[in-house]
Amino acid sequence: MAVNLLGRSFLTLLDFTPEEITYLLDLADDLKRLKRAGIKPRNLEGKSIALIFEKSSTRTRCSFVVAAVDEGAHPEYLGKGDIQLGKKETVKDTARVLGRIFDGIEFRGFEHSTVEDLAKYASVPVWNGLTDKFHPTQLLADLMTIREHFGKLKGISFAYAGDGRNNMANSIMVACAKMGMDCRIVAPESLQPEADLVKTCNKIAEETGGNITITSNVKEGVKGAQVLYTDVWASMGEEDKMQERINLLKDYQVNMEMVKATGVKDLIFLHCLPAFHNYDTELSAKVGPMEVTDEVFESDFSKVFDEAENRLHTIKAVMVATLGTK
Ligand code: CP
Ligand code: NVA
């Protein structure tokens, strides 16, 4: 049956079949080609899109804005301090108001239940631009980048080293399970994913031929990995945990020793960004490289900027597929 995602919200990849995910990736490839050729198909002509951001963003915000404008839509940025949400107005009321005014709503914030409630009450597609639990648009860009590099997803070995309980680790497990990949979450025991989600992902992986391994053993976890991935050690909202995380995760840094331990010659390094890889930002000046060394970040096998560009094409694909007019 032909895939049709019109009218659907995009909250987590758990809600999408492997065929639907592949459809979004194929569409993103097409949209990337068209953009490179200078063609703007304007699939969202006349639409208006609300972009709610409770947390900061560079890639996600810019991708939604540029994708909307490329396709002929009007994006409206609604920052934390700009709207009544959470202060004078409930999520349910805000959802019903914005749903009358806008054709689609992006939400980035803390509670995953907020994006779920927006989707429940807005009557228009709602897209998750990151919550504490999941970051599904990031995973589409990651899968797109892996496919560009290896030509496939099924069977690819993917090792994520770092905070195994955060939105990225959760989303990576789901995406790998859905696409039949060999996923390793390499994290100390106190930072390993919740058992319920691991169970769900294992069930999915049984059907797709994928595999999920959770381990605190770095050498075993990364052996044979074709994709090495990491994320910040303290996510947005957890800044006070920084020192505790440095202590817990210092042996999980992606460095050349870890790269060598994979034993894989043509591996790629990915990171959702922003990354602590040098001393060059206000924050990293105090702590230095954390989750990845500058050597790995700046290496030829680091594909982090292809990955960052692919945020634009995949976010555009999500909006076009769920809201497009053509
Ligand atoms: N990767 C990512 O979501 O980046 P931003 O926080 O800059 O949007
Ligand atoms: N885990 C990170 C991802 C940033 C894109 C965070 O939530 O801050």
**What would the CATH number be for the domain defined by 157-225+227-265+267-300?**
3.40.50.1370
* Ligand 1, CB cutoff 6 Å, lining residues: 57-60, 130, 138, 272-273
Q: Using DSSP, state whether 139 is helix, strand or coil.
A: helix
Distance separating alpha carbons of residues 24 and 127, to the nearest angstrom: 14
3-class secondary structure per residue, 262-289: HCCCCCEEEECCCCCCCCCCCCHHHHCC
Residue nearest to atom 7 of ligand 2 (CA): 235
Q: How confident is the model at residue 280 (pLDDT cuts 50, 70, 90)?
A: confident
H or E element in which residue 140 lies: helix 136-150
**Ranges of CATH 3.40.50.1370 domains, the chain:** 13-134+310-323, 157-225+227-265+267-300
Cα(143) to ligand 2 centroid in Å equals 17
What pLDDT sits at residue 99?
Answer: 98
10 has a pLDDT exceeding 80: yes
State which amino acid sits at residue 13.
L
102 has a pLDDT exceeding 70: yes
In Å, what is the CA distance from 176 to each residue of 33, 75, 269?
25, 31, 16
Cβ neighbourhood burial of 2 (10 Å; 0-12, 13-18, 19+) = exposed
Query: What is the chain's mean pLDDT, rounded?
Result: 97
* pLDDT tens-digit readout, 42-68: 999 999 999 999 999 999 999 999 999
7 has a pLDDT exceeding 80: yes
Token code pair at residue 3: 């895939």
275 lines ligand 2 (CB under 6 A): no
For this structure, is 138 an active site residue?
yes
Token code pair at residue 276: 């602590």
235 lines ligand 2 (CB under 6 A): yes
Token code pair at residue 182: 């060999």
CB 256 within 8 A of CB 300: no
Closest ligand to 58 CA? 1
* pLDDT tens-digit readout, 219-276: 999 999 999 999 999 999 999 999 999 999 999 999 999 999 999 999 999 999 999 9
DSSP state letters, 146-175: HHHHHS--TT-EEEEES-TTSHHHHHHHHH
What pLDDT sits at residue 1?
Answer: 72
Q: How confident is the model at residue 108 (pLDDT cuts 50, 70, 90)?
A: very high
Mean pLDDT across the stretch 284-288?
A: 86
What pLDDT sits at residue 326?
Answer: 60
CB 297 within 8 A of CB 277: yes
* Global model pTM greater than 0.85: yes
Q: Using DSSP, state whether 300 is helix, strand or coil.
A: coil
Calculate what percentage of the chain has a pLDDT beyond 90.
Answer: 93
Question: Which superfamily is assigned to 13-134+310-323 in CATH?
Answer: Aspartate/ornithine carbamoyltransferase (3.40.50.1370)
What pLDDT sits at residue 287?
Answer: 84
231 lines ligand 2 (CB under 6 A): yes
Other CB atoms closer than 10 Å to residue 33's CB: what's the count? Answer: 11
DSSP state letters, 18-38: HHHHHHHHHHHHHHHHHHHTT
Annotate 212-243 with b (16+ C-beta within 10 A) or e (fewer): bebbbebeebbeebbbbbbbbbbbbeeeeebe
* pLDDT tens-digit readout, 157-189: 999 999 999 999 999 999 999 999 999 999 999
Closest ligand to 308 CA? 1
Higher model confidence: residue 125 or residue 85? 125
